[in-house]
Amino acid sequence: MRAASKLLLLFYKFMAKKTKPKKSGMLKRRQQKRQKKMLRRRLAMPKRVPQQPASTEQLEQLLSTLPTLAFEPELTDLNMNKSEFKALLDSDTREVDIFMKLLTEDFIADLSQRLAQLEETNPEKSIKSVLSKATRHQIENSDKISYLSNPLLIAIFLKTHASIEGLKLDLASMAKAMEEFDQRNHKFIQEITDKIEDSGKQELVTNTEEELFADEDNEERIPAIEESVYKKFIKLVSTEKQEKVEEDLDVFLVDFQPPPIAEWDMRLVKRFLSKWFIENANPLEEDIDSMRESLLTLFQFLAEEKLLPETLLDPAKKYLQNE
């Protein structure tokens, strides 16, 4: 099962990138600030010897135990649809195609339920519990092609096939049966492996290009407010409100990227607060109130500095105060 094991390893790495939750707006900024504070605390703590991450060989050894779950009490009687299996065998359908057609929604739902039960009945850090959880994660975030990377699904497939043939496939003979399955379908599995590798490389290239373009945009963009003016403003904000005001205005000045102050008008203010901020920051009501207060404070300061367009302060004040 070398090819299948490699495919499974690639799949887990690929899915790890794909399933990372995307955070945005105020939540993301708060978490980033907390992470920076945690980092500062950690740097101040005594150094500890870091634990070595699991090697690929250790992970392969762990994954090689996956087929044994098929012989656990919770999964022993689980089979794919035998009548459909027989019909597909009689039609000379290719083995991998039979495998994929038998992975119906009902079968996957039944398997997920049994794995959840297996996970609950074993200690959280036991191999059985860890593998059950990992397998459920994979099948819940997968298409049928990547199912072929899971040794447990292949083991159940082979058990069902043996049962149809009037044979009994036990744990001792499973390793050989899976090796033969791998050999029969090596070319197809290798094609999938190559596709996942290519997809991962392409994603890396795309992400790199996006980062480069983002850097170029940041370099070319003219700040809406001169740094010296902004620093003067922040110094005037009370200590207890300073962090929150900076967080709010970072969203407005850095993320939203308004034009220079001389071009600000009510359309800009409304577009930011009523549309852009809602769509991109997913703010709570308290976040909206805070942003209104922070913007008003900034506008009043800029007006005093004779930097804000004269016709903007009064209508902006009414709008931001919900009058």
| pTM listed for this prediction | 0.47
Q: What is the pLDDT of residues 79-93, one digit of tens each?
A: 999 999 999 999 988
Residue 143, SS3? coil
Q: What is the pLDDT of residues 179-233, one digit of tens each?
A: 888 888 888 777 766 666 555 555 544 555 555 455 444 445 578 888 899 999 9
Q: What is the pLDDT of residues 257-276, one digit of tens each?
A: 899 999 999 999 999 999 99
Q: Which residue has the higher pLDDT, 25 or 177?
A: 177
Which class is domain 227-320?
mainly alpha
Residues 86, 89, 95: CA angle, nearest 5 degrees: 125
| The residue type at 316 | A
What pLDDT is stored for residue 57 in this prediction? 57
Q: What is the pLDDT of residues 31-88, one digit of tens each?
A: 565 555 455 544 444 444 444 444 555 555 555 677 888 899 999 999 999 999 999 9
Q: What phi and psi values does residue 264 have, to the nearest 5 degrees?
A: -75, 140
What is the distance between the alpha carbons of residues 102 and 86, in angstroms, rounded to a whole number? 11
* Tokens describing residue 146: 């990547």
What pLDDT is stored for residue 255 in this prediction? 85
Question: How many other CB atoms are found less than 10 A from the CB of residue 234?
Answer: 14
Range picked from 35-49, 100-114, 274-288 for highest mean pLDDT: 100-114
What pLDDT is stored for residue 48 in this prediction? 42
What pLDDT is stored for residue 54 in this prediction? 47
Residue with token string 């955070």: 23
What are the sequence ranges of the domains in the chain? 2-16+56-201, 227-320
Q: Which residue has the higher pLDDT, 106 or 147?
A: 106
Q: What phi and psi values does residue 78 have, to the nearest 5 degrees?
A: -80, 125
What is the distance between the alpha carbons of residues 268 and 172, in angstroms, rounded to a whole number? 71
Whether pLDDT at 109 is above 60: yes
